[in-house]
Amino acid sequence: MTPAELSAAIRGALTSAVDSGDLAVTVPDEVRVERPRNRDHGDWSTNVALQLAKGAGMPSRDLATTLAQRLGSIDGVKTVDVAGPGFLNITLDAASAGELARTVVEAGEAYGRNDSEAGHVVNVEFVSGNPTGDLHIGHTRWAALGDAMARLLRASGAQVATEYYVNDAGAQMDKFAASILARLKGEEVPEGGYPGDYVVALGQEVQQQRPDVLDLPEAEALAVCRDIGYATQMANIRRTLDAFGVHFDVWFSETELHDGGAVGQAVDRLREQGHVDDRDGAVWLRTTDFGDDKDRVLVRADGTPTYFAADAAYYLSKKDRGFEQKIYLLGADHHGYVARLQAIAACAGDDPKHNIEVLIGQLITIAGERMGKRRGNAIYMDELIEWLGSDALRYSLARYPADTPLSLDGEELRKQSNDNPVFYVQYAHARTANVARLAKEDGVDRADGFDAGLLADPTEATLLATLGDFPRVVAQAAHLREPHRVARYLEELATHFHKWYDTCRVRPHADEEVTELHRTRLWLNDATRQVLANGLGLLGVSAPDRM
């Protein structure tokens, strides 16, 4: 019996009690069951009696007792105990609990997928590093979190598009071109330019493609430097993200917003909504109407649109493309954007509490030292991947909530020990694969039999209950935008598997014949292997068969 089946059984018992007149209550569409923290309290627990007692007009413990009597007669339920003010603690019989092993194996990669986010059309924008430099450690965190978040939403039934916003317009691109040209001439970069060594390399690429660049009039030379430098830098960014296993559905250019007239159209549309003022020769959006600390300029007095106008046009573009929910993942220095983006949503006629979600990431340190370009100690994504590997990086960065300051110990992440969480989980998967290989050599074949009632060891009950919790963890992680819940679940699953492995043998001893117990335990081993692989896949981390 899966948690979903148990939930349906509880709901059925409620409906039966209402139909017979034992209860007068509105039966909820879904009854939530959870694993008790203390395994002595049973396999599953529900607080549905506490939730419904007021509406039923009776003490919650009495309602729970009425429900327990009906649940106790359900096939597969061993015992039902009423605890405290009305909690129901449910223990399944071994056969019912053990059936989950077959359910997981037969579902394969689909196990854990659910429809909790079905009907939602979501745009997830993350990374969006400027094309004037390489992706650094902050972008790396967002790449890991954003991609895992999108995977979780898809696994929960949402229609998702991942998007990278390319800031390829404005003064920064002029300074970028000027920096490349200055390096080509052997000069210092202009004030506010880009002094990194990568600019020298970009200059060499420009000269290789256009050997005549230094012979051109300055305006033409700058245009060449801008175009080739931009194309080269974007190719580098894409290559780095590919190496990290992150692929975007949409690469959206800011320049296209301006060239296509979207920025001007956005101002006109917001004016029609009644939130635009003309003051001091400029065009303002009254964002204070919706909680911003001050109104924002859309168009300066000289007629040039602001970055904020482009932000508004970009939001409206997402809305026009049919995205009901728009998720932005922004860096630690973007707190001021939250109210502004929410105000744009409100001014556009949307509900900021529903249609837009802004997640702010916190700073990352390496061995206790803050990283930053301006500090001169920035670490770039390419370097991190080369140093630590994509798996260790993705798992470690997804293992913590986005709003938690994070300190990484690179050397710890390189260690092959149980103190390294990603190694611990991947090793559990490799161990399940090894068990299956050796079992096959010993003639243990799943196809020859399965008896769920044989999975009666306490470690098996714990392992099965943990496997059964996986779909709920996936749905909750998707709804809360918290991939770290999957990582922590995988570590718990790995712990329960290792304990089971130490207690229960899948392979027969040398002088022992293969029995139904060996075959049934192989089903449980392979179910664990599948869930570990599915969970790691949601984090974009590989599930190795050998380590």
Distance of alpha carbon 414 from alpha carbon 39, whole angstroms:
35
CATH code at position 520: 1.10.730.10
Closest C-alpha to 44, from 19, 77, 21: 77
Does one domain contain both 395 and 464? no
Task: Determine what percent of the chain is predicted with pLDDT higher than 70.
Answer: 97
Count of structural domains within the chain:
3
Burial bucket for residue 86 (CB in 10 Å: 0-12, 13-18, 19+): buried
- pLDDT of residue 173 exceeding 90, the answer is yes
pLDDT average, residue stretch 277-281: 91
Q: What angle do CA 361, 365, 369 make, to 5 degrees?
A: 145
Q: Tell me the two tokens of residue 323.
A: 């995205």
pLDDT average, residue stretch 101-121: 96
- pLDDT of residue 85 exceeding 60, the answer is yes
Backbone angles phi, psi at 417, to 5 degrees: -145, 165
Across 167-171, 191-195, 363-367, least confident range: 363-367
Does residue 150 form part of some domain? Answer: yes
Q: Answer with the one of 392, 412, 432 that is the final residue of a domain.
A: 412
Helix (H) or strand (E) holding 296: strand 296-299
Is 185 strand, coil or helix?
coil
CA 228 to chain centre: 34
pLDDT digit string (tens) for 303-359?
Answer: 999 989 999 999 999 999 999 999 999 887 777 778 888 889 998 899 999 999 999
**pLDDT (0 to 100) of residue 174:** 94
- Cα separations in angstroms, 515 against 407, 457, 518, 527: 50, 16, 5, 19
**pLDDT (0 to 100) of residue 182:** 95
Does residue 199 form part of some domain? Answer: no
**pLDDT (0 to 100) of residue 376:** 44
**pLDDT (0 to 100) of residue 380:** 86
Does residue 243 form part of some domain? Answer: no
Is 186 strand, coil or helix?
coil
Does one domain contain both 61 and 136? no
Rg (CA), the chain: 29
Closest C-alpha to 90, from 111, 73, 68: 68
- Cβ atoms of residues 17 and 67 within 8 Å: yes
Does one domain contain both 402 and 434? no
Q: Answer with the one of 390, 412, 434 that is the final residue of a domain.
A: 412
Does one domain contain both 266 and 394? yes
> End-to-end distance of the chain based on CA atoms, in angstroms?
34
HEC per residue, 463-507: HHHHHHCHHHHHHHHHHHCCCHHHHHHHHHHHHHHHHHHHHCCCC
Does one domain contain both 73 and 156? no
Helix (H) or strand (E) holding 175: helix 171-184
Of residues 93 and 332, more confidence is placed in 93
Does one domain contain both 125 and 72? no
Closest C-alpha to 487, from 420, 432, 438, 544: 420
Distance of alpha carbon 129 from alpha carbon 167, whole angstroms:
8
- In one letter, which amino acid is 102? R
- pLDDT of residue 68 exceeding 70, the answer is yes
Does residue 214 form part of some domain? Answer: no
Across 150-164, 186-200, 529-543, least confident range: 186-200
Helix (H) or strand (E) holding 226: helix 218-243
pLDDT digit string (tens) for 355-393?
Answer: 999 998 776 776 644 444 444 446 889 988 988 899 999
Strand ranges across the sheet with 87-92? 44-46, 87-92, 77-83
Q: Answer with the one of 74, 92, 110 that is the final residue of a domain.
A: 92
Question: Residue 302 CB: number of other CB atoms within 10 A?
Answer: 7
Q: Tell me the two tokens of residue 422.
A: 């990603």
CATH code at position 33: 3.30.1360.70
Does residue 244 form part of some domain? Answer: no
Does residue 241 form part of some domain? Answer: no
Distance of alpha carbon 263 from alpha carbon 31, whole angstroms:
48
Does one domain contain both 313 and 393? yes
- pLDDT of residue 509 exceeding 90, the answer is no
Of residues 73 and 372, more confidence is placed in 73
CATH code at position 282: 3.40.50.620
Question: Residue 292 CB: number of other CB atoms within 10 A?
Answer: 21
What is the domain range of residue 46?
Answer: 3-92
Does residue 309 form part of some domain? Answer: yes
Does one domain contain both 399 and 473? no
- Cβ atoms of residues 440 and 99 within 8 Å: no
Does one domain contain both 59 and 132? no
Length of the chain counted residue by residue: 547
Place of tokens 């509900």: 351
Does one domain contain both 444 and 358? no
Place of tokens 């223990």: 91
- CB contact burial 383-421 (16+ within 10 A = b; e otherwise): ebbeebebbbbbbbbbbbbbeeebebeeeebeeeeeebb
Closest C-alpha to 203, from 187, 192, 191, 217: 187
Is 134 strand, coil or helix?
coil
Does one domain contain both 397 and 442? no
**Which residues are CB-neighbours of 541 under 8 A, at least 6 positions away?**
391, 394, 395, 422, 426
Backbone angles phi, psi at 253, to 5 degrees: -95, 130
pLDDT average, residue stretch 254-270: 92
Of residues 388 and 523, more confidence is placed in 523
- Cβ atoms of residues 341 and 312 within 8 Å: no
At 520, the pLDDT band (50, 70, 90 cuts) reads very high
Is 292 strand, coil or helix?
coil
Q: Tell me the two tokens of residue 229.
A: 């430098």
Average pLDDT, whole number, for the chain?
A: 91
Does residue 505 form part of some domain? Answer: yes
- pLDDT of residue 404 exceeding 70, the answer is yes
Does one domain contain both 304 and 429? no
pLDDT average, residue stretch 273-282: 90
